Structure formats: structure tokens, C-alpha cells
Structure 1
Amino acid sequence: MPSFDVVSELDMHEVTNAVDQASRELQSRYDFKGVSASFEHSGDKVQLEAEVDFQLQQMLEMLKAKLTGRKIDIKCLEIKDPELGGVKARQEVILRQGLDQALCKKITKTVKESKLKVQAQIQGEKVRITGKKRDDLQQAMALLREADIELPLQFNNFRD
């Protein structure tokens, strides 16, 4: 029986490359000459550090542009409020991946309400969708692409 998995994953290697590119652009930009500003990537977080809040906003736009250029959907970013203190301003950007239980339930509910001839089943951090026909599965993929889900979705493990 044909099936596929719905997941939300990030290519961390591409994220690292995007942060490195943003750091290089930061060093070469004229409006950041003589300013102590930096990007720091560790695990699933990117820490932005600058002298004032306005520079953090510019750095955030730089990071978004570099991530988009590397085909990473910026819906996966959870942007925290900037921490302004003394001489430094910091902002944390969390990279979200993996489907939590509430999001899995939302996906299964969306599929079931569509009246397509497919079944959705939660399996940890992914949702497996099975159906008798390949066309039904492709309709389910199109439905999920159009759905209002706050994380970017990928479809993998397609079996015929």
C-alpha cells in the first residue's frame, strides 16, 4: 500500500553555511565598520550580538536572506525579543524542527477533514499517510502544502 511520511527537518549543514555567509557579509558591510557585531551558531540556536537594537534588525534581515538563498524556509525560525543591556544588544533565534504532538494532531485532522481516501497516523515526530492510490497521496501532499501550518513540511519515504 503506497505511503509517505510528513516531517519537518532542517539541513543543519546549510544553516551553518548561511550563518557563515552572513558573518562574512557583516564584516564587509560599510555600515558595520568599527562596530562589534557577530553571529554565533550553536546547536539549534543562532545568537545575534550588536551594539544597538537597530543593528540587530539589520543582522536578522541578513540572516533571513542567507537562509532563503540556501533554500531553508524561514518559517522554521522562532525569533525571541532582543535583550538590551548596557553596551550590548543580544537576540536569540531558535531553529525549530520536528513535529510536536499538537502539530501532528493538526495535520491528521486536516487530512481527515479533507475526505480524501487516505489515512493519517502519528509516529513520533512524523505523520505517516497511507492510501490505496498514488493520486490520493499526491492530493494529500497538495492539501498539506496549502494548509496553514507554522512549520515547513517535507515529504519523504514515499513508497509505492
Structure 2
Amino acid sequence: MPSFDIVSEVDIQEVDNAVNNTVKEVDTRYDFRGIETTIDLNKKDRTISLVTGDEMKVKAVRDMLITHFTRRKVDSRVLEFGEYEPTSKGQLKQLIKLKEGISKEDAKKVTKIIKDSKLKVQPSIQDNQIRVTGKKLDDLQAVISLVRDCDVDLPFQFVNMKK
């Protein structure tokens, strides 16, 4: 029986490239001259740590990160921006988490959308992914377009298509 998996994954190498490109841009920008700015990617914890001068600089770096993520074809919806925190040196710190995997609530929303579509497919939640099985490939392709258009704020990938 044909099936595929709906996942939400992040290519950490592309994230690393986007962060490195952002660091290079910060180093060359005139408005960041004389202001110590650090952007660190923790691959293990899947977080980006940002420390810079003031709120305006934080917003500028945030915009640069989103731009570089888009250029590297990484969906910027994976970025979850935390609150600003003051540091002891008078700077601002922000922790940015990379969202990966589909939460239980989002998985329930997606399976409900699939079931409400009345297509002859069977979605099932497995850890942080959703497996969809059906008899016809056309039904599975209809599910893919349906999930792409749904209002869940996650980037989805469709993998392991088995015929």
C-alpha cells in the first residue's frame, strides 16, 4: 500500500552556512562598527545565541538571519525568537531556538485536516512525524497539497514515498 511521511526537519549544515553568512555581513556593515556582536550556533542544542548592543541591532541581526535562511532555502519559520535579556556589559542577549519535529498538538491538527478532507487515506502519528497511507497515489498527492495549504505554522517535508 502506498505511503509517505510528513516531517518537519532542519538541515543543520544549511543553518550553519546561513549563520556564518550573517556573521560576515555583520562584520562588514557600517552601523555595527565598534559594537561587539556575537552570533553562535549550538548544533547539539539546536539554538542560536545572539549578543549585541541594543534593540535596534538585535532587530537588524534578526532580519539578516531571516534573509540568509531564505537564501539558503531554509524556511525561516523554524526560528523561534526568545525574549531580550540584558547582559552585565550593557548589551542585549537573545536566544533563538530551531523548531524541529511536529508537536503532538500540530500533528493532531494536521491529521484532523486530512480526515476532514474525506480522502481515502489513513494518517497516523508516529513520534514527531505523520505517516499517511492510502490505496491511490492521487489521494496521497492530494494530501500533500492539502497539508501545504493548511494554517499550521511549520515547514513540512514529505519523505519516504513508497509505492
Q: What SS does structure 1 have at the residue aligned with 2:83?
A: coil
The within-5 A match list for 1:8-157 is 8-43=8-43, 44-85=46-87, 87-157=90-160
Identity of aligned residues (%): 39
CA shift, 1:85, in A, is 4.3
1:158 matched to 2:161? The reply is yes
Unaligned runs of 5+ in 2: none
- What are the Cα deviations for residues 14-63 of structure 1, in whole angstroms up to 9, with x where unaligned? 00010001001110111111110111111311111111111000011001
CA RMSD of aligned residues (A): 0.9
Number of aligned residues: 160
Q: What SS does structure 1 have at the residue aligned with 2:65?
A: helix
Unaligned runs of 5+ in 1: none
CA shift, 1:84, in A, is 2.7
Please, what TM-score do these two structures have when normalized by structure 1? 0.97
- Find runs of 4+ consecutive structure 1 residues off by over 3 angstroms: none
Q: Distance in 2 between matches of 1:129 and 1:119?
A: 6
Q: Which amino acid aligns with 1:144?
A: V
Please, what TM-score do these two structures have when normalized by structure 2? 0.95
